[in-house]
Amino acid sequence: MAPSISTNPLLSLLLLTFLSLSIFHPLTTAQPLCYMCETVVNYTSNSTFASNVNTLLASLPSNTSSNNGFYNNTVGTNRDPVYGLVLCRGDVTPATCKSCVDVAIQEIKQLCPNNKIAYIRYEYCLLRYSDKRFFSLMEDATKVILHNSANITNPTEFLPVLEDLLSSLSNRAANDPSLGMFATEKTKYMGSQDVYGLVQCTRDLSMNDCGRCLEGAAGDVIGCCSSSRGAKVLATSCNLRFELYPFYTASDSGPTPAPPNPTSKGMLLIRFRLFNLYPFLLCS
């Protein structure tokens, strides 16, 4: 499964020429962060698979919000099964979770009509379904990395602070079962500047696979964005983000309104898998 990009017409044309398999769109903060539609494998509207997709999607909102923000389900056993998963960000309320999933369901129907494999991610939730079982499989070959185009002062001093923060977060999320594979943390840079971090894995993963996914995401951030004022990595099975402002809800406080999302600006790095090769595409 390989993506094409809509942010740059020339790059999109090149990808369509080489791949022509699916669509991967980075979007603005008012829309999904990204979505992917596998355009090769489709179904008809009056098919058993279509009925199973509708049944699956209808089961997601209430079950996700009542199961601490995570739910996976299979509809159809022997004929045309559909496998679906939803994950809400670990700091959002059940009401916010349900609202995000409701929107995701409506959007994925419009953006990926009749596609057997689809994925959509918002700031507060992700939704995916497929005709192939993917539960408990760590998938990080397709990634979107966004970073702030503004750089931090004294990047040499910032690098070890960021490395320690991401390492601590990844270890906690992967190894502390009480956290539900979600962790946030705040640290200091240059004695006074707060640095905020967040990591999360889909909870069908093993602890080891969660750690591997986050380790890869942290390596991507360090490799591309360690001098940026903020960055996020969106992989299929995990995600990671750091900022110099509070963007998550602390456990001992109410929601903190975040300023306009700066990580929607600057570089976009997409890595995708094609026959076990891992090419990189960089666009601005």
Would you say 5 and 12 are in contact if contact means Cβ atoms under 8 Å apart?
yes
- pLDDT tops 50 at residue 88: yes
Structure tokens belonging to residue 105:
């369901």
What is the CATH class of 143-283? alpha beta
Pick the more confident residue, 254 or 242.
242
- pLDDT tops 50 at residue 167: yes
Chain mean pLDDT for the chain: 82
- pLDDT tops 70 at residue 78: yes
- pLDDT tops 70 at residue 30: no
How far apart are alpha carbons 128 and 34 in whole angstroms? 12
One-letter amino acid of 150: A
Provide mean pLDDT across the span 272-279: 30
Closest by CA to 114, choosing from 50, 198, 196, 36, is 50
Percent of the chain whose predicted confidence (pLDDT) is above 70: 77
User: E strand or H helix at 23, and its extent?
Assistant: strand 22-26
Highest-confidence range of 18-27, 76-85, 234-243, by mean pLDDT? 234-243
How does DSSP classify residue 209? H
Note the pLDDT of residue 218. Answer: 98
Provide mean pLDDT across the span 155-164: 97
Provide mean pLDDT across the span 171-178: 97
Residue 158: CA atoms inside 13 Å, Cβ hemisphere, count? 21
Would you say 49 and 131 are in contact if contact means Cβ atoms under 8 Å apart?
yes
CATH number, domain 9-130, options 2.60.40.1120, 1.20.1050.10, 3.40.190.10, 3.30.430.20:
3.30.430.20
**Phi then psi dihedrals of residue 40, to 5 deg:** -80, -40
Pick the more confident residue, 121 or 15.
121
Provide mean pLDDT across the span 246-274: 50
**Phi then psi dihedrals of residue 188, to 5 deg:** -115, 145
Note the pLDDT of residue 200. Answer: 98
How does DSSP classify residue 153? S
One-letter amino acid of 7: T
For the chain, how long is the longest CA-to-CA vector? 62
Question: Tokens 């049944």 identify what position?
Answer: 55
Helices (H), 67-206: 94-111, 155-175
For residue 55, what are the CA distances in angstroms to 23, 39, 98, 113, 132?
A: 25, 21, 17, 15, 17
Residue 146: CB atoms within 10 A of its CB come to: 24
Q: Concatenate the DSSP letters of all residues of 114-132 into one string.
A: TBSSEEEE-SSEEEEEESS
Structure tokens belonging to residue 253:
């406080």
Please state whether the predicted TM-score (pTM) of the whole model is above 0.75.
Answer: yes
pLDDT band at 251 (very low <50, low <70, confident <90, very high): low
- pLDDT tops 70 at residue 185: yes
Structure tokens belonging to residue 241:
């983000």
- pLDDT tops 50 at residue 227: yes
Note the pLDDT of residue 237. Answer: 97
Tens of pLDDT along 195-207? 999 999 999 999 9
143-283 matches 9-130 in CATH topology: yes
Note the pLDDT of residue 13. Answer: 30
Note the pLDDT of residue 65. Answer: 86
- pLDDT tops 90 at residue 278: no
One-letter amino acid of 121: R
**Domain range list for the chain:** 9-130, 143-283
Would you say 232 and 198 are in contact if contact means Cβ atoms under 8 Å apart?
no
Percent of the chain whose predicted confidence (pLDDT) is above 90: 71
